[in-house]
Structure 1
Amino acid sequence: MLLLLAGGRAVAQEITPPADIEAAALAALGLEGTASEARVDQALRLAACSTPLAASATGPRTVQVACNDAPGWRIYVPVRVSRQAQVAVLTRPVAAGEAITAADVAVRQRGIGAASPGDWVDPEQVVGQTATRALAPGAALAGGDLAEGRLLQRGDPVVLVSREGGIEVRMPGRSLGRAAPGDTVAVENTGSRRIVRGRLVGDGVVEVMR
């Protein structure tokens, strides 16, 4: 607490403990019970608040903590985010376009930083999916690392599908790039030599975009 002089004698002024400010900041980001750390100067001396501290996130790693008394106070608290989650981890190197087998995957507890657990692949849904890029052993698998179905490689033959007015036309083509299912890719119509862009909608099937 602070000591102020009033009428020649010392008067104690209550302060808000830095730990209370830290707790409010972590709660605003939903990080209670994690290894995350709110960084508040332990020498900080702010007046005690007669109402609960108000805290609101101003960014993924910053929180405004305020006392709404009159005159009150407000400060910005930086937060070091540290979360843990059960994630799927590769046990061997996997090349782009290679299918993932059960023997390739283990489940490990890992720190995932500021990401949420939802950004990572459900370990139960990894097997049978295709790597969209080369992946190293020990890497935690994120959503963009895998796709369902075969990865299309440059030079692969494809079927071009064009739909208009209820009419569907299929033509042979050749991929000019690599694509995971759902991605767009440039394709050469091997009959007309025309280059078009389309979306990979199935195994070797590209729907022309209009």
Structure 2
Amino acid sequence: MKHFICITLAMLMSPYHVSAETIVAARTIRAQTILTSSDMTLIQGDVPGGLISTDEAIGLETRVVLYSGRPIMAGDIGPAAIIERNQIVKLIYAIGTLSISADARALGRAGPGDLLRVMNLTSKSTVSGIVGSNGAVYVGELPRS
């Protein structure tokens, strides 16, 4: 009997038996919408890859349509876009003390930290870079904050 009680207690204390909550969309939400607390609700259950706290999602932008009652996955949301498709942006190549800048056209929509393809307006070549918080696209080294 003692053995049974110990196993039962171990199972109850195990992280695999803890009731988890998952964030789901409270309604259908269009892509490119900034999330608020009223857009989400908690349900019982654990969904691998699903968000577990509304604090993780508030203020972020939806990358895809979120359907009512479906879990919100980490890849479904991200920082709000600061660059729109076809917008002219500053393209900066930086390595060590060398820094070269040019104007480029954004070939997509992106937020800080996103990888974005741009076309150099002078050479017409396309490159990919990381969007900085200042709206510039960096190839090579990112600026130190």
What TM-score does the superposition give when structure 2 sets the normalisation length? 0.69
For residues 168 and 112 of structure 1, do their structure 2 counterparts lie closer, same or farther at Cα, with a shift above 3 Å needed? same
1:187 equivalent to 2:118? Answer yes
Choose which of 46, 50, 54 in structure 2 pairs with 1:112. Answer: 46
**Offset of residue 147 of structure 1:** 1.3
Alignment of 1:135-150 (within 5 A): 135-150=66-81
State the shift of 1:138 in Å.
Answer: 2.1
Q: Which residue is 2:127 aligned to?
A: 196
Q: Kindly indicate whether the alpha-carbon contact (under 8 Å) linking 1:121 and 1:142 is maintained by their aligned counterparts in 2.
A: no
- Matches of 1:171 and 1:152 in 2, distance apart? 16
Alignment map for 1:159-198 (pairs within 5 Å)? 159-198=90-129
> What's 2:31 paired with?
96
Gaps of 5+ in 1: 1-18, 35-82
Q: Deviations over 1:142-178 (max 9, x none)?
A: 2222212326443233221211331333322112234
Q: Which has the higher contact order (CA 8 A, sep 6+)?
A: 2
Taking the aligned partners of 2:52 and 2:63, their CA distance within structure 1 comes to 13
Per-residue deviation, 1:195: 0.9
Q: Distance in 2 between matches of 1:142 and 1:185?
A: 22
Q: Distance in 1 between matches of 2:92 and 2:65?
A: 29
Question: Are the structure 2 counterparts of residues 95 and 171 from structure 1 closer, same or farther at C-alpha, using a change threshold of 3 Å?
Answer: farther
Q: 1:182, 1:200 within 8 Å by CA — same for their partners in 2?
A: yes
Structure 1 residues 112 and 151, CA gap change in structure 2 (3 angstroms): farther
Q: Distance in 2 between matches of 1:133 and 1:180?
A: 14
Which is worse superposed, 124-133 or 168-177? 168-177
Is residue 121–residue 141 contact of structure 1 (8 Å, CA) maintained in 2? no
- In the TM superposition, residue 203 of structure 1 has moved relative to its aligned partner by 5.7
CA distance in 2, matches of 1:161, 1:92: 41
Q: Which runs of 5+ in 2 are unaligned?
A: none
SS state of the match for residue 132, structure 2?
Answer: strand
What's the offset of the Cα at 1:204? Answer: 3.4
CA distance in 1, matches of 2:81, 2:56: 16
Flag the structure with higher helix content: 2
How many Å apart are 1:181 and its aligned residue?
A: 3.4
Q: How many residues align?
A: 138
Task: Check 1:165–1:99 CA distance in 2 against 1; reply closer, same or farther (3 A cut).
Answer: same
What RMSD over aligned residues (CA atoms) do the two structures have, in Å? 3.3
The 4+ residue runs of structure 1 with deviation greater than 4 A are none
